Structure 1
């Protein structure tokens, strides 16, 4: 019952009503405060501010008593307790308007804080509203509408145009375009076809598709995002915990200064004014409002930050370490060039023969060559014989001709001469981070196909932006030195480490930390998880990364947009600057107000105005983080 009354009185409409009564009482009080004669004296049978004291004061007293009862240690002493004491002190000296003013502006500050928090939670609320409740299951060639909770991994589902995809899955039939902005922050819908993955909670824009469910219930992407954001909102940043502790300890200091002020001046109003202006409300509000606004801003752009502590730590990061494959590069081999050695063959001939020979191979190199040939609309010729030597090469017979595809040692083992010109080309490709496949018949080499893992389109721009933020960049990869050096230099990375095992990545991060660097590790795979766990902050490529990497990471990117990485750093820096500025501002206002109170310049009425303007300013400054442009 009491809690229900608290909720009603602290609501928007009751606060507005309290403000109207305060205004009715405020005009004559302010006129008198500055030496004038109010024409409105004795109009009311009682002071209208009493209504304000009751409406806004009850929630304050309730909150302070509740914290004394339930909180532990120093946290029992709260800003609500100090304001309650100031309110009662103002009532005791007969300044009902000052008591109402203190309570009202505190209520107004609470509403501003709640408004900021609600705006920051807008991304989460949108996620929750988009979480589907039903799905269209295909069973015995019939469509059955069932609850999302009933869908199991392996179920076949049909999604019609305009419907929300109920769970994560893989398309097995149909083509469409999916609006997945709520998950990835991508503004443009993404085309999807057979074997493409889709996320639960995203919207099927056009064609009907059939999917097989892969992740359901709490394992689905949208459920994980909702839980991650909820967890982030509940975790305090260290700077927030410090602010709360300082605020609690300021209460006895305020009481002491108020008592001293009263004893020195002999004026009880001085003591009451000190209580009014000393409240550390702005100090308490500075961090949570800024953190909530920043987390909300990040969620809006498809970035999940798991706690306020991560934001604070990210603001101190001076070194960014990157995995290569799947992070800076696409993680997929593709044909980069075809070199003709025997002029009796063209590039098309060499590609067609190599693809036909590799058609039965399961090796990624073979698959990449076949995929490239199919993309070029080349016919894959039949083979009458196929032999594979793992890690070395393959032998295939096509139209009676025996073809060899592999590296130079493999060809030499079959008495095929690798001349100096071919070896030089192979060495050049290797220095560029490319893999070379030499194609030969029984007598001689006819061509070379060079493949490589291609760099993401936005890698160079992202690294340039990171460097411009005065951060060191480090590449940590298990690839060869040649490949790592080529990619690292092309991308503009300042320090390169290659041929690393997962444990060696950890050692390098620990070495950097030993030199007093704050390290952020960006990765996408299982092998990156130990290094990500060791780093001060870790970022996972959410849409393509492994579940282990995402669970380990402090921050998850829900799209492949690497430009979100410098965005996170800029957002973190701005959040820390905002918090520090707000704390400094609140402390400065408090100090000035205390001095003016002791000098009897401020009264409880004007002191409440000065002090609580600071609280409102802090909330408004934090709220700006939500809409600022960092990308």
Structure 2
């Protein structure tokens, strides 16, 4: 029976009960009895059908207990009890459906944002088509007040976009030529033309909805335990009810015991909390992949951070180009052409700088090889280039002249990353790149400590000077620099072997192995890259560390909420059963209290939808932010 049918049957049952009350007042005894039996049959039929379906599946459901009790009440002529119990059970089911829908409101809010139509340019004409009919490569036009229907780069125009559907961040973002835009975002002001790279179910927005749906349907360990418990508990109650009857010979007490012992509130105590918590995360730009992830996140005591793109903005800039026996522009051009295949932040930064200087990049690199954690090797115009860190030069046995080593050290001490460039196995230049610490990082880390994180560690492939600057500024406990991806995996594994529960936060590209190794893998979303979506347990869609502090506090609040609900559900059943055995609680009144307990459990969980992490950080780290709000690295 679906939600509409439940509402309809519950309404009919309520009307019949009201009519029975009127008939009782009027003294129409026979009519009242007929009305009560009719109400019982109408409301009890769907309950009975559901119980028999459960029996066919070899399961003992709550509906089975209610069915047995209602049949017994009819048998002994307690028509008021049977009618009230069936009505209250359906009414409780209706409230549960409605309130569970409310806990899923964040997902519904997301789906409501999905664009339905797109304006595309085809054969020189502008056509309005369904988003399902947009094809990869289509030129899509989006005007002010319209939603972007595809993922892709801007090829013309500028606009201010509200990206809350993707990132949870409502502050408008300015977009211009070559910037990526995503389906579901809203153009508040401006006009843009976009090339469709991802369409339909492949867009970031569609995948977010899919991930949240899957997360809300997945079960936590607590939920799985409660389900197993219910399969044992329900038949046990039937046997206990038989025992109560044998000891008391009181059929009404036995039926009351049977109904009151229903574990309704207990069974939903965990799922409703998990759904509400995941919904809160989705509304705030945090994708938490299921109840089990939520429970594990709440137990984390150690966080391992990558540096670039995680603790820093991930939008580095070229600060200097230094050539040895080669013009700066020529060095930058050759390096940028070698880096054109790179997905790393630093490689993309070099390409961006070349374009910024209007350097024409025409040659695709040949024999290109990405050396993870170290750099890239490629052939450009017949010249063999090696671009990367010292480790790459050492592995390739390319000597670094003392002049270049001294210059690189100076740049690194100033907070830059020094990228060595060799041509034909000779060092010919160094490109310096600098990044900035995320402005929210210190405050976010302070909140994480406040909420229970015991240690924070940085693992980075960058040089030790830059790593030290970041670590000291943010007050990290340990700093390890110049690491390869395999070294990060080993470090995470070592922490786990020491008994720590470890979360690894990275950019979802080079850090994917370490993210997968940690108890909880967390990726800075970067607008939803494929690897971050697939590898991580948690994705921060806005690339903001304060979303991580919110996710951690939310996980602890969700687990605490589940414990509150479980304690309340068990306590209510215990007190009601005690009241039944003492002769203080009867069938209808007991059922009313039971359904109220179900409602209270749900209402308690709904509080998570509005949960915010407002704990203040400690003074020391707040001062760091105010003293040096934009430290450059």
- Asked if the contact 1:169–1:197 (Cα under 8 Å) also holds between the matched residues in 2, the reply is yes
- Asked if the contact 1:519–1:535 (Cα under 8 Å) also holds between the matched residues in 2, the reply is yes
Which of 573, 593, 611 is the equivalent residue of 1:590? 573
- Asked if the contact 1:359–1:366 (Cα under 8 Å) also holds between the matched residues in 2, the reply is no
Aligned to 2:439: 457
Say if 2:500 is the partner of 1:517. Answer: yes
Which of 6, 13, 35 is the equivalent residue of 1:10? 6
- Bigger Cα Rg: 1
Give the gaps of 5 or more residues in structure 1. 29-37, 339-349, 381-386, 394-407, 439-447
Take 1:193 and 1:40, find their aligned partners in 2: how far apart are those partners?
77
> Following TM superposition, by how much is the alpha carbon of 1:136 offset from its aligned partner in structure 2, in angstroms?
2.1
Take 1:570 and 1:533, find their aligned partners in 2: how far apart are those partners?
22
- Asked if the contact 1:355–1:373 (Cα under 8 Å) also holds between the matched residues in 2, the reply is no
- Asked if the contact 2:3–2:94 (Cα under 8 Å) also holds between the matched residues in 1, the reply is no
Aligned to 1:55: 42
- Asked if the contact 1:25–1:97 (Cα under 8 Å) also holds between the matched residues in 2, the reply is no
Take 2:510 and 2:388, find their aligned partners in 1: how far apart are those partners?
25
Aligned to 2:368: none
Say if 2:88 is the partner of 1:102. Answer: no
- Asked if the contact 1:182–1:202 (Cα under 8 Å) also holds between the matched residues in 2, the reply is yes
Aligned to 2:254: 271
> Following TM superposition, by how much is the alpha carbon of 1:559 offset from its aligned partner in structure 2, in angstroms?
0.9
- Asked if the contact 1:15–1:55 (Cα under 8 Å) also holds between the matched residues in 2, the reply is no
- Asked if the contact 1:9–1:55 (Cα under 8 Å) also holds between the matched residues in 2, the reply is no
Q: List per-residue Cα deviations over 1:357-397 (Å, max 9, x = no partner).
A: 7664535889979989999xx999xxxxxx9985599xxxx
CA distance 1:95–1:515, shift in 2 (3 Å) = farther
Which of 52, 58, 67 is the equivalent residue of 2:54? 67
Say if 2:243 is the partner of 1:247. Answer: no
Say if 2:38 is the partner of 1:46. Answer: no
Which of 136, 140, 159 is the equivalent residue of 2:119? 136
CA distance 1:454–1:354, shift in 2 (3 Å) = farther
Take 2:548 and 2:246, find their aligned partners in 1: how far apart are those partners?
58
- Asked if the contact 1:164–1:202 (Cα under 8 Å) also holds between the matched residues in 2, the reply is yes
Aligned to 2:467: 484
> Following TM superposition, by how much is the alpha carbon of 1:142 offset from its aligned partner in structure 2, in angstroms?
2.3
Take 1:26 and 1:282, find their aligned partners in 2: how far apart are those partners?
29
- Asked if the contact 2:302–2:501 (Cα under 8 Å) also holds between the matched residues in 1, the reply is yes
TM-score by length of 1: 0.80
Aligned to 1:445: none
Which of 315, 322, 330 is the equivalent residue of 2:305? 322
- Asked if the contact 2:161–2:174 (Cα under 8 Å) also holds between the matched residues in 1, the reply is yes
Say if 2:521 is the partner of 1:538. Answer: yes
CA distance 1:537–1:23, shift in 2 (3 Å) = farther
Take 1:369 and 1:499, find their aligned partners in 2: how far apart are those partners?
20
Q: List per-residue Cα deviations over 1:241-291 (Å, max 9, x = no partner).
A: 111121221112212222222222221111111101100000111111111
Take 1:46 and 1:459, find their aligned partners in 2: how far apart are those partners?
69
Which of 89, 100, 104 is the equivalent residue of 1:121? 104
Q: List per-residue Cα deviations over 1:413-432 (Å, max 9, x = no partner).
A: 8xxxx9xxxx6x97565345
Aligned to 1:224: 207
Q: List per-residue Cα deviations over 1:268-323 (Å, max 9, x = no partner).
A: 11111110110000011111111111122112112222212211221222222211
- Asked if the contact 2:270–2:562 (Cα under 8 Å) also holds between the matched residues in 1, the reply is yes
The worse-fitting range, judged by mean Cα deviation, of 203-212 and 537-546 is 537-546
Take 2:147 and 2:6, find their aligned partners in 1: how far apart are those partners?
38
Q: List per-residue Cα deviations over 1:318-359 (Å, max 9, x = no partner).
A: 222211111111234336799xxxxxxxxxxx9xx9976766
- Asked if the contact 1:361–1:367 (Cα under 8 Å) also holds between the matched residues in 2, the reply is no
Please show how residues 306-321 of structure 1 align to structure 2 within 5 Å: 306-321=289-304
TM-score by length of 2: 0.80
Aligned to 1:362: 335
RMSD: 3.5
